[in-house]
């Protein structure tokens, strides 16, 4: 791949795969206003940035989110991956070059984690700029279109004498060289130091002023008219910078630069400092009111449910239900409220009977709230004060909502949603609606709304619903979980500009990359439709092959099992070709009830599950319940740190009566041998021995002769480190990567702020898995992974390479995993695993894994 340099000009090749768009679309006034230079932006679909021409790397910040290259002819090309990505401090970026290195066109410069950046950055749009002051201008940059790496992107040429080389700029006439010199020492207050944006603002601030302006940090100096030179200073927050200026405007120049360094624009929300003369082409900073959602715009959001959809915008305006403030008498209003609550209870109970998994949990949460005595009491008190039933119910709910919001704890968001949902359901009932009426949708509807409640989502016509985009919301909210369970692609937290998209606009929702493309053009829509058709065909082929046993390309047997939490999960698992159940979370039988399920009840349920699996292995995990999931019939001591308290096997040994009952129920399942037992939260062999003794006692009690296989979950660092001694006592291992990651990284697995960093591909976790697999191999024990990492197709080659024999995943992903494994060889997996173990971060491991998988390969 070579970039040509015609007549002193230069053709730049596309450094990224993606869609090229005008700079105006970049949601940042510095880029959109061309304050750094002219060019265009690419909305990436690939995760590797390549050199657009031959040249030398002249700037690469520590955060590795941007790189500047100087062509042989002197043009300076800045490539800035995403917007506001300096704040990621290098997370998700891996540089393959260093400053001073010569590169050839097409050479790999930076790889990055597309998903992570889509989730965490303001935008994925990547400006590719010819930096002002380098003496080159853009001659031709082409239309918005799909580009592959190496496609011709734009043509640039040397600018006329007037604009060339601001680095060598002479003081303007009237400015006495060396005269009127001014200097000031300023401490950098900018959160991320002098990165691309502040550099552009400094250049802009001094543009209209005459004379020389220079910044010095430690032993480096930079001309204040060169963005690249300023970025190369490497000035960080807290550094002392000496600003020097000479000439007629020296005083104003020093003051303007000092303003930028003091962070005046950061406090002002990103607009240039007031003191700086504003270039006419700069658009105002994007605020909710100012943003125009124009054709071709790309709105980034947080991925709540992966997938892609092509369709039309359908605005879901949720009108507040009207209520009458004044009541018509206490007894009348009390009766109204009671009736409405009864109707809602009836509907929720009916829904619970047919729901499973997440949908069931949500229904149960609503039932629980409906009977909350404080809520009812509060509503009745409002009625007693003269309020109408609807008004009273709303007042009671809203008081709780306010109280929860005041906690400022993002984990309370789901509870708030549940309360508002319940408010709506009861008020609809009062108004004579039998539940949330199914809303009419046109075909291929991509529903846009400020927020959406679970009952509203359920009320939408699923056959016509192609996708969901919400201006607010979080990825762990109930509605997000429900969308994922329904397989509907969804983005949340897109921001208020979403609500300016006009009804009926053609949309491309890329909920893999976390972007909603508004009216992206016929060509792009057609390409997306082709991609969707390919995916659909691939999925169909995978489902067809899913019933066959799974072997790698070189013949190694890798079993793909499923995790199960209900009878319907087991049925889906069997339909999707799962070769057994690698983890039955028995908690589902124990929660939301007044007394523990009897032995007979448990046995009947396990038997039903065994039958649904048609004789395939059923791995029953003993009760993994703890202080964070209180059950009324098992009062536990209050714990400050429930995750570190009585949970898993510790609870079972603390209540041996419950353990014995459960063991007898498992041992009673026919045919013998279909069930195996799995023990959660083991930390040493003593715990295994205690449970084994209870198993032997139960076996003798029911007169069963055959032994039963007993496996251990490796989900604490202790058990991974002790795997050699544990292997002597256990028949198999099953690695619970959810808890293993939580305890290894010391990050709460439910913490929304840490969610992006809680990656089981962290090398520390992988090293524990490697150790576990080695210990198992020495004793010829089978090793499974049943934590969330087993459901991540990107991770499969690494896990297999580390020595894992069985993956137990969510039922829906089983066909995909099998297809993927069939294309792998053990040697390739082993190579990836050893490379992964040598990485220094989860991001680096993920980048490695993604390179193997390719974006659409997962
Ligand atoms: C795990 O910790 O990875 C696991 C499978 O158990 P659970 O998610 O049920 O805690
Ligand atoms: Mg666990």
pLDDT digits (tens, 9 = 90+) for 714-768: 999 999 999 999 999 999 999 999 999 999 999 988 775 677 788 999 999 999 9
259 CB less than 6 Å from ligand 1?
no
Rounded to the nearest angstrom, the distance between the alpha carbon of 601 and the centre of ligand 1 is: 24
* From 5-14, 94-103, 315-324, 424-433, the region with the lowest mean pLDDT: 5-14
pLDDT average, residue stretch 96-122: 88
Which of 729-765 are b and which e, b meaning 16 or more Cβ less than 10 Å from the residue's Cβ? bbbbbbbbbbbbbbbbbebebeeeeebbebbbbbbeb
Q: Please tell me the predicted confidence (pLDDT) of residue 142.
A: 65
What is the rounded CA–CA span in Å between residue 309 and residue 467?
A: 6
Q: Please tell me the predicted confidence (pLDDT) of residue 319.
A: 67
624 CB less than 6 Å from ligand 1?
yes
Rounded to the nearest angstrom, the distance between the alpha carbon of 680 and the centre of ligand 2 is: 7
* From 146-150, 241-245, 617-621, the region with the lowest mean pLDDT: 146-150
Q: Are 38 and 23 in contact (CB under 8 A)?
A: yes
Q: Which two tokens stand for residue 456?
A: 């509203």
Q: Please tell me the predicted confidence (pLDDT) of residue 784.
A: 98
State the ligand closest to the CA atom of 807. Answer: 1
Q: Please tell me the predicted confidence (pLDDT) of residue 318.
A: 65
* Beta-carbon contacts of residue 408 (< 8 Å; ≥ 6 apart): none
Q: In 3D, which of 624, 531, 512, 612 has the Cα closest to residue 570? A: 612
Q: Select, from the ranges 118-122, 514-518, 796-800, the one with the highest average predicted confidence (pLDDT).
A: 796-800
Q: Are 832 and 797 in contact (CB under 8 A)?
A: yes
pLDDT average, residue stretch 66-73: 90
* From 57-61, 289-293, 330-334, the region with the lowest mean pLDDT: 289-293
Q: Please tell me the predicted confidence (pLDDT) of residue 459.
A: 76
Rounded to the nearest angstrom, the distance between the alpha carbon of 446 and the centre of ligand 1 is: 34
579 CB less than 6 Å from ligand 1?
no
439 CB less than 6 Å from ligand 1?
no
Q: Please tell me the predicted confidence (pLDDT) of residue 683.
A: 97
Rounded to the nearest angstrom, the distance between the alpha carbon of 742 and the centre of ligand 2 is: 9
Using the structure block, give the residue that is written with the tokens 């405007």. 249
Within 60-104, strands assigned E span: 66-71, 76-80, 93-95, 102-103
Q: Is the pLDDT at 711 greater than 70, yes or no? A: yes
Mean pLDDT of the chain: 85
pLDDT average, residue stretch 420-429: 89
Q: Select, from the ranges 406-410, 570-574, 801-805, the one with the highest average predicted confidence (pLDDT).
A: 801-805
Q: Please tell me the predicted confidence (pLDDT) of residue 391.
A: 94
Our mutation pick for probing the ligand 1 site, out of 357, 642, 713, counting the most ligand atoms within 8 A of Cβ, is 713
Instruction: Determine whether 478 is an active site residue.
Output: yes
Q: Which two tokens stand for residue 756?
A: 């992006």
Rounded to the nearest angstrom, the distance between the alpha carbon of 738 and the centre of ligand 1 is: 5
pLDDT average, residue stretch 1-9: 49
Strand partners, 557: 551
pLDDT, one tens digit per residue, over 556-575 is 999 999 999 889 889 999 99
Rounded to the nearest angstrom, the distance between the alpha carbon of 629 and the centre of ligand 2 is: 13
State the ligand closest to the CA atom of 588. Answer: 1
585 CB less than 6 Å from ligand 1?
yes
477 against 416, higher pLDDT: 416
State the ligand closest to the CA atom of 741. Answer: 1
Whether the ω angle into residue 671 lies within 30 degrees of 0, i.e. cis, is: yes
626 CB less than 6 Å from ligand 1?
no
What is the rounded CA–CA span in Å between residue 27 and residue 636?
A: 52
743 CB less than 6 Å from ligand 1?
no
Atom of ligand 1 minimally distant from the CA of 735: 3
Three-state secondary structure along 666-721?
A: HHCCCCCCCEEEEECCCCCHHHHHHHHHHHHHHHHHHCCCCCCCEEEEECCHHHHH
> Which member of 50, 366, 478, 517 is catalytic?
478
State the ligand closest to the CA atom of 809. Answer: 1
pLDDT tier at 80 (50, 70, 90 boundaries)? very high
Q: Is the pLDDT at 268 greater than 50, yes or no? A: no
Q: Are 195 and 86 in contact (CB under 8 A)?
A: yes
* From 499-508, 581-590, 623-632, the region with the lowest mean pLDDT: 623-632
* Beta-carbon contacts of residue 279 (< 8 Å; ≥ 6 apart): 33, 34, 35, 204, 207
Question: Dihedral sign, CA of 377, 381, 383, 384?
Answer: positive
Q: Is the pLDDT at 857 greater than 70, yes or no? A: no
786 CB less than 6 Å from ligand 1?
yes
Cβ count within 10 A of residue 706? 8
Q: Select, from the ranges 2-16, 150-164, 543-557, 579-593, the one with the highest average predicted confidence (pLDDT).
A: 543-557
* Beta-carbon contacts of residue 380 (< 8 Å; ≥ 6 apart): 334, 337, 392
pLDDT average, residue stretch 186-198: 81
542 CB less than 6 Å from ligand 1?
no
Strand partners, 714: 735
What is the rounded CA–CA span in Å between residue 794 and residue 852?
A: 8
The phi-psi region of residue 592 (left if phi > 0; otherwise alpha if psi is between -120 and 50; otherwise beta) is left
pLDDT average, residue stretch 788-808: 95
> Which member of 53, 469, 581, 786 is catalytic?
786
pLDDT average, residue stretch 601-612: 97
* Beta-carbon contacts of residue 639 (< 8 Å; ≥ 6 apart): 627, 645, 646
* From 455-469, 609-623, 689-703, 810-824, the region with the lowest mean pLDDT: 455-469
Instruction: Determine whether 469 is an active site residue.
Output: no
Q: Is the pLDDT at 599 greater than 90, yes or no? A: yes
Residue-by-residue DSSP string for 186-201? EE---TT-S-HHHHHH
State the ligand closest to the CA atom of 786. Answer: 1
738 CB less than 6 Å from ligand 1?
yes
Percent of the chain residues past pLDDT 70, beyond the cut: 88
Rounded to the nearest angstrom, the distance between the alpha carbon of 750 and the centre of ligand 2 is: 12
Q: Please tell me the predicted confidence (pLDDT) of residue 432.
A: 75
Q: Is the pLDDT at 5 greater than 50, yes or no? A: no
784 CB less than 6 Å from ligand 1?
no
Pairing of strands 240-246, 212-217: antiparallel
Pairing of strands 76-80, 48-50: unpaired
Q: Are 376 and 334 in contact (CB under 8 A)?
A: no
Our mutation pick for probing the ligand 1 site, out of 769, 772, 788, counting the most ligand atoms within 8 A of Cβ, is 788
pLDDT average, residue stretch 134-141: 77
735 CB less than 6 Å from ligand 1?
no
Rounded to the nearest angstrom, the distance between the alpha carbon of 374 and the centre of ligand 1 is: 34
The phi, psi pair for 813, rounded to 5°, reads -95, -5
Q: Please tell me the predicted confidence (pLDDT) of residue 435.
A: 54
Rounded to the nearest angstrom, the distance between the alpha carbon of 80 and the centre of ligand 2 is: 40
Cβ count within 10 A of residue 507? 27
Could you give the C-alpha distances from 780 to 41, 517, 526, 724, 774, in angstroms and in order? 54, 52, 52, 11, 10
Atom of ligand 1 minimally distant from the CA of 738: 3
565 CB less than 6 Å from ligand 1?
no
Q: In 3D, which of 768, 687, 762 has the Cα closest to residue 724? A: 768
Q: Are 807 and 796 in contact (CB under 8 A)?
A: yes
Q: Please tell me the predicted confidence (pLDDT) of residue 473.
A: 76
Our mutation pick for probing the ligand 1 site, out of 584, 591, 680, counting the most ligand atoms within 8 A of Cβ, is 680
Residue nearest to ligand 1 atom 9, measured at CA: 585
Residue nearest to ligand 1 atom 1, measured at CA: 736
787 CB less than 6 Å from ligand 1?
yes
Q: Please tell me the predicted confidence (pLDDT) of residue 630.
A: 66
Q: Which two tokens stand for residue 193?
A: 């130091």
Our mutation pick for probing the ligand 1 site, out of 581, 585, 651, counting the most ligand atoms within 8 A of Cβ, is 585
* From 199-203, 286-290, 559-563, 743-747, the region with the lowest mean pLDDT: 286-290
State the ligand closest to the CA atom of 582. Answer: 1
Cβ count within 10 A of residue 342? 12
Rounded to the nearest angstrom, the distance between the alpha carbon of 680 and the centre of ligand 1 is: 8
* From 136-140, 528-532, 804-808, the region with the lowest mean pLDDT: 136-140
Q: Is the pLDDT at 604 greater than 90, yes or no? A: yes
The phi, psi pair for 648, rounded to 5°, reads 60, -140
State the ligand closest to the CA atom of 564. Answer: 1
Our mutation pick for probing the ligand 1 site, out of 713, 736, 740, 743, counting the most ligand atoms within 8 A of Cβ, is 736
Q: Please tell me the predicted confidence (pLDDT) of residue 447.
A: 95
Our mutation pick for probing the ligand 1 site, out of 564, 586, 734, 739, counting the most ligand atoms within 8 A of Cβ, is 739
pTM: 0.55
CA angle 124, 508, 487 (to 5 degrees): 100
739 CB less than 6 Å from ligand 1?
yes
Q: In 3D, which of 110, 116, 89, 303 has the Cα closest to residue 758? A: 116
Using the structure block, give the residue that is written with the tokens 């404080």. 374
What is the rounded CA–CA span in Å between residue 236 and residue 240?
A: 9
pLDDT, one tens digit per residue, over 650-691 is 999 999 999 999 999 999 999 999 999 999 999 999 999 999
Rounded to the nearest angstrom, the distance between the alpha carbon of 586 and the centre of ligand 1 is: 12
Rounded to the nearest angstrom, the distance between the alpha carbon of 819 and the centre of ligand 2 is: 27
CA angle 572, 576, 577 (to 5 degrees): 125
Q: Is the pLDDT at 3 greater than 50, yes or no? A: no
Could you give the C-alpha distances from 647 to 476, 630, 654, in angstroms and in order? 23, 11, 10
Q: Please tell me the predicted confidence (pLDDT) of residue 247.
A: 86
Cβ count within 10 A of residue 300? 25
């Amino acid at each position: 791949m070579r970039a040509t340099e015609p007549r002193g000009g230069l053709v730049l090749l596309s450094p990224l795969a993606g869609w090229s768009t005008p700079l105006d679309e970049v949601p940042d006034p510095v880029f959109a206003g061309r304050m750094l230079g002219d060019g265009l932006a690419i909305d990436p679909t690939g995760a590797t940035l390549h050199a657009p021409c031959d040249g030398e790397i002249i700037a690469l910040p520590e955060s590795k989110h941007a790189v500047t290259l100087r062509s042989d002819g002197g043009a300076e090309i800045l490539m800035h991956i995403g917007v506001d990505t300096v704040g990621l401090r290098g997370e998700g970026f891996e540089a393959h070059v260093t400053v001073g290195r010569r590169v050839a066109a097409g050479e790999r410069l930076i790889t990055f984690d597309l998903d992570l950046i889509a989730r965490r950055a303001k935008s994925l749009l990547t400006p590719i700029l010819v930096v002002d002051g380098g003496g080159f201008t853009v001659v031709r940059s082409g239309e918005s279109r799909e580009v592959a790496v190496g496609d011709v992107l734009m043509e640039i040429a040397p600018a006329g004498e007037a604009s060339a080389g601001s680095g060598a700029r002479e003081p303007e006439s009237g400015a006495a060289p060396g005269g009127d010199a001014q200097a000031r020492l300023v401490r950098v207050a900018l959160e991320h130091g002098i990165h691309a944006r502040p550099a552009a603002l400094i250049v802009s601030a001094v543009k209209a002023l005459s004379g020389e302006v220079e910044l010095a940090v430690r032993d480096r100096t930079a001309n204040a008219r060169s963005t690249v030179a300023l970025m190369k200073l490497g000035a960080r927050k807290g550094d002392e910078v000496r600003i020097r200026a000479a000439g007629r405007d020296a005083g104003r120049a020093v003051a303007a630069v000092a303003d930028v360094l003091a962070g005046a624009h950061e406090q002002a929300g990103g607009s240039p400092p007031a003191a700086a003369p504003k270039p006419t082409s700069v658009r105002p900073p994007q605020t909710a009111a100012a943003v125009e959602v124009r054709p071709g715009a790309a709105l980034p959001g947080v991925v709540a449910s992966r997938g892609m959809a092509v369709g039309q915008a359908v605005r879901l305006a949720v009108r507040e239900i009207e209520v009458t403030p004044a009541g018509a008498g206490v007894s009348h209003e009390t009766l109204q409220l009671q009736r409405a609550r009864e109707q809602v209870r009836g509907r929720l109970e009916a829904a619970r009977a047919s729901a499973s998994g997440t949908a069931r949990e949500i229904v149960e949460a609503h039932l629980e709230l409906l009977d909350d005595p404080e809520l009812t009491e509060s509503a009745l008190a409002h009625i007693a004060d003269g309020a109408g039933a609807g008004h009273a119910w709303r007042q009671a709910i809203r008081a709780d909502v306010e109280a929860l919001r005041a906690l400022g704890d993002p984990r309370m968001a789901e509870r708030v949603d549940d309360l508002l949902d319940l408010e709506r359901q009861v008020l609809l009932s009062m108004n004579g609606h039998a539940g949330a009426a199914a809303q009419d949708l046109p075909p291929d509807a991509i529903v846009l709304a400020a927020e959406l409640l679970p009952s509203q989502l359920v009320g939408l016509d699923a056959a016509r619903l192609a996708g969901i985009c919400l201006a607010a919301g979080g990825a762990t909210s109930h509605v997000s979980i429900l969308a994922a369970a329904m397989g509907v692609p969804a983005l949340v937290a897109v921001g208020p500009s979403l609500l300016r998209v006009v009804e009926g606009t053609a949309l491309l929702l890329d909920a893999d990359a976390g972007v909603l493309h508004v009216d992206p053009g016929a060509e792009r829509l057609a390409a997306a439709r082709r991609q969707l058709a390919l995916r659909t065909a691939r999925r169909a082929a995978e489902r067809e092959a899913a019933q066959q046993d799974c072997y790698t390309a070189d013949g190694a047997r890798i079993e793909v099992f499923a995790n199960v939490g209900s009878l319907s999960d087991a049925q889906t698992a069997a339909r999707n070709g799962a070769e057994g159940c690698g983890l039955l979370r028995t908690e589902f039988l124990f929660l939301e009830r007044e007394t523990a399920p009897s032995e007979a009840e448990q046995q009947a349920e396990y038997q039903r599950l065994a039958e649904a699996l048609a004789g395939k292995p059923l791995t029953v995990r003993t009760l993994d319940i703890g202080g964070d999931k209180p059950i009324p019939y098992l009062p536990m001591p209050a714990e400050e740190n429930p995750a570190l308290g009585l949970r898993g096997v510790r609870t079972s040994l603390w209540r041996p009566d419950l353990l014995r009952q459960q063991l007898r129920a498992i041992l009673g399942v026919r045919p013998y041998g279909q069930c195996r037992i799995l023990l959660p939260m083991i930390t040493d062999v003593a715990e295994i021995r205690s449970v084994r003794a209870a198993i032997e006692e139960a076996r003798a009690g029911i007169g069963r002769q055959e032994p039963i296989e007993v496996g251990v979950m490796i989900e604490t660092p202790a058990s991974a480190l002790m795997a050699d001694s544990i292997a002597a006592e256990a028949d198999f291992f099953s690695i619970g990567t959810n808890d293993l990651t939580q305890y290894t990284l010391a990050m709460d697995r439910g913490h929304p702020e840490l969610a992006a960093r809680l990656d089981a591909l962290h090398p520390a976790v992988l090293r524990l898995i490697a150790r576990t697999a080695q210990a198992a191999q020495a004793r010829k024990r089978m090793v499974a992974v049943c934590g969330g990492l087993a459901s991540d197709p990107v991770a499969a080659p690494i896990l297999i390479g580390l020595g894992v024999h069985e993956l137990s995943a969510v039922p829906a992903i089983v066909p995909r995993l099998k297809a993927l494994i069939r294309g792998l060889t053990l040697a390739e997996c082993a190579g990836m695993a050893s490379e992964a173990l040598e990485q220094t971060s989860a991001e680096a491991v993920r980048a490695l894994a993604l390179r193997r998988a390719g974006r659409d390969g997962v």
